[in-house]
Amino acid sequence: MRKMIIIAMTLLMAVNLHAQQPANRQQAMQRIEQQVQHYSEAFALNEEQAQQFGTLYKAYNKQMRTIHDQYRHERPAAGTTLTDEQIEQRILDNFAQSRAILDAREQYYKEFRKILTPTQINRIFEDEKARRAQMRR
């Protein structure tokens, strides 16, 4: 009987966790839409520019999310220490991630530059940097 209760609770938790994922993804998509709207208004883009910018900005965010997901590491359990090999791999992964982010930013800078001024692009990159710092806290 006790096993059945544990199994039922585990299933309920799994279903609840699964149900929350689309909501989180939907919230992320809404946040990106809000950012597109905010930048379009702040940069006084016309309708055509806003459409181009929105498509490009969403693709940029998707690529950045992909890069971060690719190099994501699980935190070690409390009281657990990493081996030298694991630490070295994390350092090498951090280098690779930094290179991938730099490449993506450079690629998208060239694309953004077709629509925006360097000052406007810098604002996007600085805002992104501030959001990352805020999430770390």
Longest dimension (CA), the chain: 67
Q: What is the pLDDT of residue 13?
A: 54
Q: 72 pLDDT exceeds 90?
A: no
- Rounded to two decimals, the pTM is 0.74
| DSSP H helical ranges for 43-117 | 47-70, 84-112
Helices 2-42 and 118-136: crossing angle, nearest 10°? 150
CA distances from 106 to 32, 53, 112 (A): 20, 16, 10
pLDDT in tens, 20-52: 455 677 788 899 999 999 999 999 999 999 999
- Give the pLDDT confidence score for residue 12 in this predicted structure: 54
Angstrom distance (rounded) from CA 13 to CA 131: 30
Count other C-beta atoms under 10 Å from residue 61's C-beta. Answer: 18
What is the spatial distance between Cα 127 and Cα 131, in angstroms, rounded to a whole number? 6
Task: Answer whether 64's CB lies under 8 Å from 135's CB.
Answer: no
Alpha carbon distance 101, 89 (integer Å) = 18
Question: Are 51 and 76 in contact, with CB atoms under 8 Å apart?
Answer: no
Residue 131: the pLDDT is: 86
Q: Which two tokens stand for residue 19?
A: 């149900």
Per-residue pLDDT of 75-100, as tens digits, reads 888 888 989 999 999 999 999 999 99
